[in-house]
Structures are given as structure tokens and as C-alpha cells.
Amino acid sequence: MQTLETPSPDHVAAHVAGKAGRITLIRADALNALSHEMCLVIKEILLAWRENLQVEVIMIDAEGSKAFCAGGDIRFLYEAGINGEHGRVRKFWRDEYRLNQMLADYPKPIVSFMQGITMGGGVGLGCHVPYRVVGLTSQIALPECSIGLVPDVGSSAILAQAPRGAGRFLSLTGHRMDAADALFAGFADHCIPEADWPALKELIAQTGDPAVIQTYARELETSYLAGNITEIEQVFSGGRLQDIFAALEVSGSDFAGQAAKMMRRASPLSLACALGILGQLPAGSSVAQALRLEFRFVHRCISESDFLNAVQAAVIDKTGAPEWRQWPQEHAGMMLSDLGS
């Protein structure tokens, strides 16, 4: 098959083969974490392929078996933040969010292949496209509240549409979804064993038709989320953060105990803001609406949230969760207030 190489930096490879353009993350030693440069390069590739008549479909995948993309480059954001370079931090998020929006609006079909770990920025890269493939190793999660952020990259739009309170549960606990959970919650469309991916990619490139995915798709058993959805709905569908904690305590089930444990590891401010964002996004909200709300938080997060302390403890010093600051009750509302012009 003919291959036309497209120049790209070390962490992103791109080429056109047959009727498909293929973008591959090649930063496996860092679990394909998404840097600012990678966001900009992927955006330029997508812009070029939008006008390329040979490209009928696009595939986004990643090297290595451990991860599709473990998230954004947290260490870069931390280092820029402690150096007072707030503008660099905001530019990273602004450019990443623009890429998320481009993927959601792209005029040609895009297929993502999300093996292993897909978190944070990986969700923004792989979960807004129309054809989302997971495998038997897939683990998708939004653990941002545990590092003083909120689920972002437009993920709030998907969380808002998840059934029966599952979106709130995922947002507040950071629960890792396997393939069955991801299908149930709306973060994936098809489960295909990773061993079948090379043949499927070849077929997509030959035909230019992503509908051939159905040929390989596998039915899965009931997911963890589906099996606990009644309790999830009872506990997470409504009320304030303190009401959710109270309901978990009253329940006393193993599920409730694990959920409460995961939430206690997170920043109370982040939990309140994540809940506030979902409260402003009814089912059917767009990625653009979610990104606007999420950006209000990340625009302020360096100086007005627990982010830097959390990354210092969890990533830099590796001492575990920090002692969360006791912000004024009205602070969550301020973090989500309109940025103005």
C-alpha cells in the first residue's frame, strides 16, 4: 500500500495510506502524555487533511500496549505554574481545548483506538470523535479532582449525558472504566480485541469506510456501572456534595464505601466545581458549552485552586494526597463565574 509521509516531531507520527490518514502518538515511555507541542502538531495535521481529497477517513492511535494517552503534560503545567508563568499554562489549555473542539466538529470521519490507559487529555483526544474503539485492556478515567482540577477537555459534555447519575459518579470518584463501562457511559462505541486492530486498520485504509468496524465489534457482559446503576442513581443523581457524602454513609454498601474512599482523596473544591459544571450542563449539551465552563476553572486554577499543591504531593514528591485547603464556601462559585471578554 502506498504511504505518503508527513513531517512531524518526535512524539507524533502521521502518514496517509490508501484512503486513510493516520495519526499515531509515539511517546510510549511517558504513556503518550499529551504535550503542548503535540496538540499543535495534531491540529496542523488535521487542518492539512481537511483539504486532502485522498484522505476520506482519519485514524488516531498510539504506540505501546500500556496507554493510548494518560493525559496532559501535568509536569509542564506544574513547572510553569510555580514559576509564575500563568500565561503559558492558559495557552496550553486554550490550544488543547481548540483541538478538542476541532475533533468534535471535524468534517471527515475519525476513528480513535484507545488501548490501555486513557485519562484526562486522552479523553479529549479520543472520545469526541464519531467512531471510538476500545479493547479488552482499555481503562478510561477522569481522575482530575484528585489533583485539584476538574474533569475537562470537553468530558463534561459526555458526563452530562451518561445515564442515571453515572456521569456524576465518574466525575467525583475518578472510577476507571473498562470497555463495558465505557460503552455504557457513552465514552466508546465499539469493543474490539486489540489483536484484531491491525487488520481492522488495514481494512479502513483500503475502503475509507469506518462502518467496517461493525464486522469486528464484540458484545460484552454487564458492566460494573450497569450492575450498580440503581445505587448510583439514588446517591449521585441530585443534591449537593454533602448530600452525596451523607447518602454514601447511610448506604453502607461495599460500593458506597469504595466511592466515598475515592472521593475523600480528592480536592473538596474540585469536587464542588465538578458538580457545579455538570449542574449547568443538561443532557444534550455540546462540547463547546462544556469547554467554556471548564476553561473558567483552569484559567484560574494556578493561583485559586489546589492544583499546584496536589501535583507537588502526588507527582513531584510522591507523598500521596496533600492537605486540602479550606476555601470559603462561595469560592467554587467564583471559580466557575464568567471570565467576561
Q: Can you say whether residue 290 is alpha, beta or left, with left for phi > 0 and alpha for psi between -120 and 50 degrees?
A: alpha
Quickly state the pLDDT bin for 331 (edges 50, 70, 90): very high
Q: How far is CA 316 from CA 202, 203, 270, 312, in A?
A: 41, 44, 20, 5
pLDDT (mean) for 95-118: 98
Q: Quick check: 154 and 285 in contact, CB under 8 A?
A: no
271-285 per-position pLDDT tens digit:
999 999 999 998 889
- The per-residue pLDDT for 54 is 96
Provide the percentage of residues in the chain whose pLDDT is more than 70.
97
C-alpha 333/C-alpha 304 separation (Å) is 12
pLDDT (mean) for 163-183: 97
Q: Name the pTM for this structure.
A: 0.94
pLDDT (mean) for 172-177: 98
pLDDT (mean) for 108-134: 98
Rg (CA), the chain: 20
Q: Quick check: 122 and 177 in contact, CB under 8 A?
A: no
pLDDT (mean) for 227-232: 96
- The per-residue pLDDT for 2 is 34
pLDDT at 9 > cutoff 70: no
**List of residues 6+ apart from 282 with CB closer than 8 A:** 160
* 227's grid cell: 450492575
Instruction: Count other C-beta atoms under 10 Å from residue 285's C-beta.
Output: 18
Quickly state the pLDDT bin for 341 (edges 50, 70, 90): very low
Q: Give the N- to C-terminal CA distance of the chain in Å, as an integer.
A: 50
C-alpha 70/C-alpha 82 separation (Å) is 22
pLDDT at 4 > cutoff 60: no
Which residue's entry shows cell 471559580? 335
* 286's grid cell: 455540546
| Strand extents, DSSP E, the chain | 3-6, 12-17, 20-25, 57-62, 67-69, 110-114, 117-119, 131-134, 139-141, 190-191
